[in-house]
Amino acid sequence: MHLWFQEEDDSSLRFGYRVSDVLFRGQSEFQTVDVIETEAYGRMLLIDGLVMITERDEFVYHEMIAHVPALLHNKPEKVVVIGGGDGGTVRELLKHPEIKEVVLCEIDGLVVDTAKKYFPQTAACLSDPRVSVKIADGIAYLKDHQPDSLDLVIIDSTDPIGPGEGLFTKDFYKSVARALKSDGLMVCQSESPWYEENIHQRIQNNLSAGFAHTKPYVGCVPTYPRGLWSWTMAAQYEINPENYSCERFNKLPTEDFQYLNEALMLACFALPNFFKRKLGLK
Ligand code: AAT
């Protein structure tokens, strides 16, 4: 008999992983946090029974959520990451020499402590002198943030259920827009293109309460349910993927990159037809 973990995506769909060990089970005031060892993807961090990261494929999500917006901003110096307590997004951001300061605002200290103990590959960077970690609700943090002061805001959040729900609302996106400088850029994880129709329209629609332009892109994350994942950038100006800086890309430690390359910097914006239709794009 083998032990299996199954992520229940909806009542009709489960994704299963054979488990070789259960390393940690914890409960915070917000959510359950578990660490298991899986045969196929190595160590896995679960929140409320949903996959947050795995040792073997976390690079896709983190490279895509960090480098795409960082390379499309002219000079990202001050960055705030909301959520992302595992540290993977921060690790990627720190590869940009322009970035002088990263604040990670994660609601749950248990996620950060668990990542430091079990996922040094993502969390070790949290002790870098350019990083400060705040254990706080990202909604309150950005609501009270100094206006017109940030270059990039990265919303590395859980799905829109539980404490992550408020990170997908109009009010929250308005606070993000206020905290950003006029040439600032934000990105959020925007779920699988396969999900029910209205989730993407809702994200798009809510983003437009704070921003004049949005730009979705996609990548393959095998351990996020349904595989194809999306992120959406938003700004007050039209985001043109061709404006990314090749020169800055080539100065990055690209030998470490396991997913992103120059061709994908443009190709990730090519969306499948069914997703374009959901978004109301031609
Ligand atoms: N780096 C990939 C991991 C994540 S985890 C998202 C994090 O968002 C969690 O640690 C959670 O505690 C945190 N979070 C949730 N709500 C808030 C909030 N209001 N303020 C600050 N942090 C918050 C992303 C996984 C994506 C999963 C896709 N299925």
User: Looking at residue 33, which CATH number applies to its domain?
Assistant: 2.30.140.10
Q: Which atom of ligand 1 is nearest to the CA of 87?
A: 1
Q: Could you give phi then psi for residue 244, rounded to 5 degrees?
A: -65, 155
Report pTM.
0.98
pLDDT attached to residue 162: 82
CA distance 177 to 236: 8
Same domain, 153 and 193: yes
Q: Does one domain contain both 48 and 63?
A: no
Same domain, 9 and 111: no
- Model confidence at 153: pLDDT above 90: yes
pLDDT digits (tens, 9 = 90+) for 58-115: 999 999 999 999 999 999 999 999 999 999 999 999 999 999 999 999 999 999 999 9
156 and 183 fall within a common domain: yes
Residue ranges for the binding site for spermidine? 62, 86, 156-159
What separation in Å is there between the alpha carbon of 240 and the centre of ligand 1?
28
Q: Are residues 103 and 191 in the same domain?
A: yes
- Residue 135 predicted with pLDDT over 90: yes
Show the domain range for 98: 58-279
Residues with CB under 6 Å of ligand 1 are 47, 50, 52-53, 61, 82-86, 88-89, 105-108, 111, 137-139, 156-159, 163-164, 166-167, 189, 224
Examine the residue annotation and report whether 183 is marked as an active-site residue of this protein.
no
pLDDT value of position 141: 98
- Taking only Cα atoms into account, the Rg of the chain, rounded to an integer number of angstroms, comes to 18
Q: Which of 103, 98, 104 is nearest to 249 (CA)?
A: 98
- In this structure, the answer to whether residues 228 and 119 fall within a common structural domain is yes
Mean pLDDT of 179-195: 97
Hey, whose CA ends up nearest to atom 1 of ligand 1?
84
Residue nearest to atom 16 of ligand 1 (CA): 164
Say how many domains are in the chain: 2
40 and 63 inside one domain = no
CA of 157 to the centre of ligand 1 (A): 3
How far is ligand 1, taken at its centre, from the CA of residue 203, in Å? 16
238 plus 120 within the same structural domain: yes
Q: Which residues are annotated as a binding site for S-methyl-5'-thioadenosine?
A: 31, 106, 137-138, 163
From 52, 92, 231, the mutation candidate for ligand 1 (largest count of ligand atoms within 8 A of CB) is: 52
How many angstroms is it from 109 CA to the middle of ligand 1? 12
CA dist., res. 107 & res. 110, Å (int): 9
- In sequence order, the 6+-apart residues with CB closer than 8 A to the CB of 97 are 251
Name the catalytic one among 156, 171, 183, 256. 156
Assess whether 28 and 120 both reside in one domain.
no
Instruction: Provide the pLDDT for residue 213.
Output: 98
| Confidence at residue 10, expressed as pLDDT on a 0 to 100 scale | 85
d(CA 83, ligand 1 centre) in Å = 4
197 pLDDT above the threshold of 80: no
Residue 122 and residue 13 in one domain: no
Task: Tell me what the pLDDT averaged over the chain comes to.
Answer: 97
What pLDDT is attached to residue 183? 98
pLDDT at 1 over 90: no
- Mutate which of 64, 145, 157, 165 for ligand 1 pocket (most atoms within 8 A of beta carbon): 157
Query: At residue 11, does pLDDT exceed 90?
Result: no
CATH number at residue 267: 3.40.50.150
Please report the pLDDT score of residue 200 as a whole number. 93
What average pLDDT does range 157-168 have in this prediction? 90
Q: How is the chain split among helix, strand and coil, in percent rounded to 5?
A: 35, 30, 35
> Do residues 168 and 38 share a domain?
no
Task: Kindly indicate the confidence band of residue 190, based on its pLDDT and cuts at 50, 70 and 90.
Answer: very high
What is the average pLDDT across 173-185? 98
Rounded CA-CA distance 266/217 in Å is 9
Q: Specify whether 16 is located in the same domain as 142.
A: no
pLDDT band at 196 (very low <50, low <70, confident <90, very high): confident
Q: Which of 33, 54, 75 is the last residue of a domain?
A: 54
For strand 32-38 and strand 13-27, is the pairing parallel, antiparallel, or unpaired?
A: antiparallel
Going by their DSSP bridges, the two strands 78-83 and 101-106 should be labelled as: parallel
Instruction: State the Cα–Cα distance between residues 111 and 46, nearest whole angstrom.
Output: 10
pLDDT the model gives residue 206: 97
